[in-house]
């Protein structure tokens, strides 16, 4: 459930027995290939890349555009909301493909607390009590214009709703709060407008929708309506579907309003796997301790939001709060408009199904995990099944390698997650179930929106940024050259428009949240990446994110599906087979030093008196340790010495976890990265420190600096001892 294109960007270490990987035999010799391999590049992590390059070439020849298109068509032929019979059928399809490729495959069920809408009624009235709108209006486009849409009338599509919304029957005046960010609500307060007792109308964008509801609830609102403004993903950007790729008037963005930044996963089992046999007594039931709002929230199309917005009285809104509808937006809070929301959510424990496929390696302790979610709000062609189709073609490639006698050095685990849309539930429950094993997993590779267009994008932990660049250099682009070449070209073109400093190497984003990497990285400390290929995509989480939209606007010949399968698969192959783990801690250390510098400047600007000296010294020590371990990583060792370096490289990441977690949210344990408590999708770096500064809480910030210092010193020590 990553944000749309137009939204702003969004344990304890188990001691390793030194012999565990020392005995791993080298890669088998692949069969002779007729492909001309060209000169062998030097790739970080390999003593000699030539053998790997032959396996890579064999792998790259397998993912098939046409087959990816067939997977996509099958997976999206029915709406497959998590826990539905249609969702279970997609699990069986994926499991069959995993088995056919030779993976040891299991469908893993969990029982989780999910809401399903029984009744969604929203109506707006003017001051005289005249009804202006009665919704939600079913999503519909004219079947006679531009080919219409063949999927929109499927009766199995659930009415547009928000996962994790409370039930409720409220009638109140309405206040317009722009995107519903902390700053937006502060500005409203400054303008003398209270949301207490009101229904808040906000537009999508800028932050995670659950954060909008969390702030509104904290300020005493009785309900929230979240609509899609045409300025954000509609006609302001271009033609609306089915003529173009942008959001039509009736299309609604469904989505979870879970308090994801408190913890993701099953609301009743934070930190615990909700397996089918989990006793009821192990579930929490106190709503105050859970990650769900207590007020009702529902999404709206702009068609349904328009009469409300247009009728709002009160002051004119600030000019940057004006969206794309053809009248001046006002702030409301007066009697000119009243809205009635009546939501009945059926909450109960429902069964969901992850599909797990395993390729055992020589080393069964060091897992390489890769995954994508499978459930969708409706048909989910882009989100998420463009990712699933590509993942299945990557698995197809692994299957061909297995037939040729390949056995990876490390064990590969592929996950097809369920109920991601409700709040990263399938991945979180599985990760919580395997926390001990994952404490030495060497990477988690995510994809969610695999393909919505031709522009490759990636986000990663700093230690894996160089790794992603190297993989992208090896994969051909449908536009010519490599994925890396086209990616760099696109970033350079973008930067010329913005007149920024010249880009000589691709920039890779920071992981926030909103997809399945969160439990692996931010709860368990598994280094992670997230990749996809983007384009103009205005139908996110609507009924129109379907196969018809996909073949018209995203990837008609599935060549970007093929590209995605190749990049995703190569990430897995490289991480599974490198001699030395390809984490670049030099970059990591430098990044942390710069995060601290920026935080110190913010603290100074906020006139907070804090001592950054120990944390800065520890960050510099971590960066220096990264430099010296890099020398070891490139010194081509073998056997026991190499195994020792690999353990240290992996344990250094675990050392960055703080078992106490972050203030207000102990589930989030990583000291360097978390989704922002008040942003959600966007990452906050050194979150304990930066959010303490946001709150102007010097004592809390200083305590977080101490925790960070300890974590950095722990990680530095592990890296320093690596060669000893």
Nearest distance, CB of residue 448 and Zn ion, angstroms: 4
Nearest distance, CB of residue 452 and Zn ion, angstroms: 11
Cα(546)–Cα(381) distance, integer angstroms: 5
What are residue 341's DSSP bridge partners? 122, 170
* Alpha-carbon distances of 478 from 390, 504, 548, 689, rounded to whole Å: 15, 22, 22, 44
Check residue 354 for interaction with Zn ion (CB under 5 A): no
* Alpha-carbon distances of 710 from 131, 199, 349, 683, rounded to whole Å: 61, 45, 41, 22
Chain centroid to Cα 76, Å, comes to: 21
Which residue's CB is nearer to Zn ion, number 208 or number 583?
208
The structure tokens listed for 580 are: 């030395």
Other C-beta atoms lying within 10 Å of the C-beta of residue 52: 20
Other C-beta atoms lying within 10 Å of the C-beta of residue 181: 20
Check residue 1 for interaction with Zn ion (CB under 5 A): yes
Which residue's CB is nearer to Zn ion, number 1 or number 166?
1
Kindly report each contact of residues 464-467 with a partner whose C-beta sits within 8 Å and lies 24 or more positions away, as own/partner. Answer: 464/527, 464/528, 464/529, 464/582, 464/583, 464/584, 465/508, 465/584, 465/587, 466/44, 466/582, 466/584, 466/587, 467/44, 467/45, 467/529, 467/571, 467/574, 467/575, 467/582, 467/583, 467/584
Which residue's CB is nearer to Zn ion, number 515 or number 671?
515
Catalytic residue from among 5, 139, 268, 420? 420
Nearest distance, CB of residue 596 and Zn ion, angstroms: 33
Say how many residues touch Zn ion, by CB under 5 A.
Answer: 4
Which residue's CB is nearer to Zn ion, number 418 or number 591?
418
Which residue's CB is nearer to Zn ion, number 76 or number 616?
76
In the chain, DSSP finds a helix count (H) and a strand count (E) of 20, 16
Which residue's CB is nearer to Zn ion, number 125 or number 430?
430
Nearest distance, CB of residue 513 and Zn ion, angstroms: 12
Q: What is the CA radius of gyration of the chain?
A: 25
The structure tokens listed for 409 are: 């050095």
Of residues 527, 370, 518, the one with CA closest to residue 432: 518
Which residue's CB is nearer to Zn ion, number 1 or number 715?
1
Check residue 211 for interaction with Zn ion (CB under 5 A): no
Nearest distance, CB of residue 114 and Zn ion, angstroms: 16
Nearest distance, CB of residue 2 and Zn ion, angstroms: 6
Which residue's CB is nearer to Zn ion, number 353 or number 595?
353
Of residues 431, 415, 428, the one with CA closest to residue 374: 415
Cα(305)–Cα(307) distance, integer angstroms: 6
Q: SS3 of 143, please?
A: coil
Chain centroid to Cα 425, Å, comes to: 12
The structure tokens listed for 502 are: 């010249």
Nearest distance, CB of residue 447 and Zn ion, angstroms: 9
Nearest distance, CB of residue 636 and Zn ion, angstroms: 41
Catalytic residue from among 80, 140, 523, 670? 670
* Pairing, β 455-460 against β 528-534: antiparallel
The answer, yes or no, to whether the previous bond of 78 is cis (omega within 30 of 0) is no
Which residue's CB is nearer to Zn ion, number 1 or number 174?
1
Residue located via tokens 């009243």: 338
Nearest distance, CB of residue 253 and Zn ion, angstroms: 12
Site for Zn ion in 366-385 (CB under 5 A): 383-384
Which residue's CB is nearer to Zn ion, number 5 or number 584?
5
Nearest distance, CB of residue 420 and Zn ion, angstroms: 6
What are residue 223's DSSP bridge partners? 199
* Pairing, β 255-256 against β 297-300: unpaired
Nearest distance, CB of residue 425 and Zn ion, angstroms: 12
256 is annotated as an active-site residue: no
Site for Zn ion in 9-48 (CB under 5 A): none
Nearest distance, CB of residue 81 and Zn ion, angstroms: 13
The answer, yes or no, to whether the previous bond of 142 is cis (omega within 30 of 0) is no
Q: Which residue intervals of 606-683 are DSSP H helices? A: 613-633, 639-655
* Pairing, β 162-163 against β 255-256: parallel
Which residue's CB is nearer to Zn ion, number 226 or number 689?
226
Which residue's CB is nearer to Zn ion, number 304 or number 383?
383
- For 112, the enclosing helix (H) or strand (E) is strand 104-126
Chain centroid to Cα 68, Å, comes to: 22
Which residue's CB is nearer to Zn ion, number 98 or number 540?
540
580 torsion bin: left (phi>0), alpha (psi -120 to 50), beta (else): beta
636 is annotated as an active-site residue: no
Catalytic residue from among 33, 42, 50, 613? 613
Nearest distance, CB of residue 371 and Zn ion, angstroms: 12
Q: SS3 of 173, please?
A: strand
Cα(698)–Cα(696) distance, integer angstroms: 6
400 is annotated as an active-site residue: no
Other C-beta atoms lying within 10 Å of the C-beta of residue 307: 16
Residue located via tokens 């939204």: 7
SS (H, E, C) 339-376: EEEEEEEEEEEEEEEEEEEEECCCEEEEEEEEEEECCC
* Torsion 48-50-55-61 (CA) sign: positive
Phi, psi of 414, rounded to the nearest 5 degrees? -110, 130
Site for Zn ion in 383-412 (CB under 5 A): 383-384
DSSP string, 282-310: GS---GGGSSS-SS-EEEE-HHHHHHHHH
Site for Zn ion in 439-458 (CB under 5 A): 448
List interacting residues with Zn ion (CB under 5 A). Answer: 1, 383-384, 448
Q: Give the active site residues.
A: 420, 613, 670
């Amino acid at each position: 459930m990553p944000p749309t294109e137009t939204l702003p960007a969004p344990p304890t270490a188990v001691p390793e027995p030194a012999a565990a990987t020392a005995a791993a035999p080298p890669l088998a010799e692949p069969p002779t290939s007729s492909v001309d391999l060209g000169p062998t590049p030097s790739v970080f992590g390999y003593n000699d890349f030539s053998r790997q390059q032959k396996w890579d070439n064999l792998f790259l020849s397998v993912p098939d555009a046409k087959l990816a298109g067939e997977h996509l068509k099958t997976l999206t032929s029915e709406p497959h909301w998590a826990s539905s019979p249609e969702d279970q059928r997609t699990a069986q399809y994926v499991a069959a493909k995993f088995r056919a490729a030779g993976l040891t495959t299991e469908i893993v069920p969990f029982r989780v607390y999910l809401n399903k809408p029984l009744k969604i009624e929203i109506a707006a009235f003017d001051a005289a009590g005249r009804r202006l709108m009665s919704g939600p209006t079913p999503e519909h486009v004219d079947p006679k214009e531009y080919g219409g849409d063949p999927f929109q009338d499927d009766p199995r599509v659930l009415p547009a709703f928000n996962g994790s919304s409370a039930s409720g029957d409220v009638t109140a005046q309405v206040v317009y709060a722009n995107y519903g960010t902390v700053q937006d609500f502060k500005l409203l307060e400054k303008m003398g407008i209270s949301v207490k007792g009101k229904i808040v109308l906000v537009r999508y964008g800028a932050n995670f929708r659950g954060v909008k509801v969390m702030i509104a609830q904290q300020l005493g609102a009785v309900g929230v309506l979240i609509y899609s403004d045409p300025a954000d993903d509609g006609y302001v950007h271009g033609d609306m579907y089915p003529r173009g790729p942008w959001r039509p008037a009736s299309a609604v963005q469904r989505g979870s309003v879970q308090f994801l930044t408190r913890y993701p996963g099953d609301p009743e089992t934070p930190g615990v796997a909700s397996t089918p046999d989990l006793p009821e007594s192990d579930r929490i039931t106190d709503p105050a301790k859970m990650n769900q709002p207590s007020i009702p929230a529902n999404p709206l199309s702009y068609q349904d939001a328009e009469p409300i917005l247009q009728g709002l009285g009160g002051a004119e809104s600030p000019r940057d709060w004006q969206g794309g509808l053809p009248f001046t937006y006002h702030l409301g809070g007066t009697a000119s408009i009243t809205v009635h929301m009546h939501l009945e959510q059926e909450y109960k424990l429902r069964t969901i199904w992850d599909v797990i496929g395993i390729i055992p390696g020589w080393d069964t302790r060091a897992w390489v995990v890769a995954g994508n979610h499978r459930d969708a709000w409706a048909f989910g062609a882009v989100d998420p099944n463009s990712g699933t189709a590509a993942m299945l073609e990557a698995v197809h490639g692994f299957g061909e390698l297995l037939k040729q006698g390949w056995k990876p050095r490390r064990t590969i685990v592929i996950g097809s997650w369920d109920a991601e849309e409700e709040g990263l539930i399938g991945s979180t429950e599985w990760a919580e179930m395997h926390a001990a094993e994952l404490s030495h997993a060497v990477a988690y590779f995510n994809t969610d929106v695999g393909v919505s267009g031709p522009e490759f994008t990636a986000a990663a932990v700093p230690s894996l940024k160089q790794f992603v660049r190297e993989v992208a250099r090896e994969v051909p682009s449908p536009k010519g050259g490599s994925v890396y070449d086209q990616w760099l070209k696109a970033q350079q073109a973008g930067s010329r428009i913005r007149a920024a400093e010249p880009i000589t190497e691709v920039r890779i984003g920071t992981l926030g949240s909103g997809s399945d990497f969160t439990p692996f990285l931010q709860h368990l400390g598994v280094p992670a990446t997230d990749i996809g290929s983007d384009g103009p995509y205005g139908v996110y989480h609507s009924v129109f994110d379907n196969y018809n939209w996909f073949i018209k606007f995203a990837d008609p010949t599935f060549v970007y599906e093929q590209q995605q399968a190749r990049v995703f698969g190569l990430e897995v192959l490289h991480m599974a087979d490198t001699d030395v783990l390809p984490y670049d801690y030099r970059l990591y250390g430098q990044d942390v030093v710069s995060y601290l510098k920026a935080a110190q400047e913010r603290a100074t600007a906020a006139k907070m008196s804090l001592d950054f000296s120990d944390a800065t010294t520890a960050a510099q020590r971590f960066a220096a340790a990264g430099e010296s371990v890099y020398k070891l990583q490139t010194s081509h060792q073998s056997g026991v010495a190499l195994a020792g370096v690999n353990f240290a490289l992996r344990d250094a990441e675990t050392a960055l976890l703080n078992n106490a977690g972050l203030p207000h949210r102990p589930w989030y344990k990583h000291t360097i990265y978390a989704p922002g408590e008040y942003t959600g999708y966007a990452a906050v770096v050194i979150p304990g420190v930066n959010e303490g500064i946001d709150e102007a809480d010097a004592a809390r910030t200083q305590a977080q600096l101490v925790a960070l210092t300890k974590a950095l010193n722990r990680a530095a020590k592990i890296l320093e001892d690596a060669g000893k």
